Amino acid sequence: MSAGSLQELEGIVDLPDRRWDLQTIAEAIPLVRAFSNADGQLRFRVHAMAQAVFACPTFASLLPTNAGELRLRVMGHLSKTARYPRLQTLLTQLCAADEITDWLEDSGKTVLLAGELGLLRCALARVPQTVSVNRPRLLLLRAALLRETGEYADALRQARVVRDVAEHEGERQLLVESMLLIVRLAVDTGDAVTTRDVSLQLLSFVEHGQRALACSYLAAAAGWLGDAGEARAWG
């Protein structure tokens, strides 16, 4: 984390029947400082030199066996608190590919919606393609990133693969997400027929807000195809 509060640490690390003593920890570990801010909140900060040591593979090999789980909790916290520069450092220097894969499936969409495309690209680059092929949610995330960078043909190809896998395995939510991405790509590229056809299919799987979204796509597609009556009916 490099820096944070006592409350943040308590939310990440479960220490039953024990109390955090940041001052004692700071005295025991070189280049770690504990202090109270103006509101009396106890905080900590790790010197950049110590961060470099803690991030090296040799140090990581000395950590307990649950270190990977702890890193995942830290990564999740950094994602929720939008501390993206620190998150990228952690991803590139310390995390293993399987840890990054788990984090991407859990938090990748949040990072994408935050517009942190560079961070997402960096994280996905650390995951072997052979792993992505067997993790359809990861493949869908790759497709969404490709859409954001204007690589529509590759994005559509991967989104269709995910749709087929989700349909075969009965993963309803994943099926809906992949179909929505296909529709958005069709809108991006002006493909009115695909927009109409996939949106019609979506109506069988979605309800409430997503159903309204599908109807709006159908109205748009009808308008593009010159069918004003159909457009009004869906609108």
Per-residue pLDDT of 18-32, as tens digits, reads 445 656 666 666 677
Are residues 91 and 142 located together in one domain of the fold? no
Are residues 225 and 141 located together in one domain of the fold? yes
The range of the structural domain enclosing residue 68 comes to 64-127
Are residues 78 and 40 located together in one domain of the fold? no
CATH number, residue 208: 1.25.40.10
Instruction: Reply yes or no on whether the pLDDT at 75 is more than 60.
Output: yes
Are residues 142 and 235 located together in one domain of the fold? yes
Distance from C-alpha of 35 to C-alpha of 41, rounded to nearest angstrom:
8
Domain end among 55, 79, 97 = 55
Are residues 146 and 229 located together in one domain of the fold? yes
Are residues 16 and 73 located together in one domain of the fold? no
CB-based contact 105:137 (threshold 8 Å): yes
- Overall pTM > 0.85: no
Instruction: Reply yes or no on whether the pLDDT at 143 is more than 70.
Output: yes
How many distinct structural domains can be found in the chain?
3
* Local confidence band at 42 (pLDDT 50, 70, 90 cut-offs): low
Are residues 102 and 156 located together in one domain of the fold? no
Residues 6+ apart with CB under 8 A from 86: 1, 2, 78
Find which of 7-11, 38-42, 88-92, 212-216 is predicted with most confidence, using mean pLDDT.
212-216
Task: Check residue 124 and give its pLDDT.
Answer: 93
Are residues 226 and 190 located together in one domain of the fold? yes
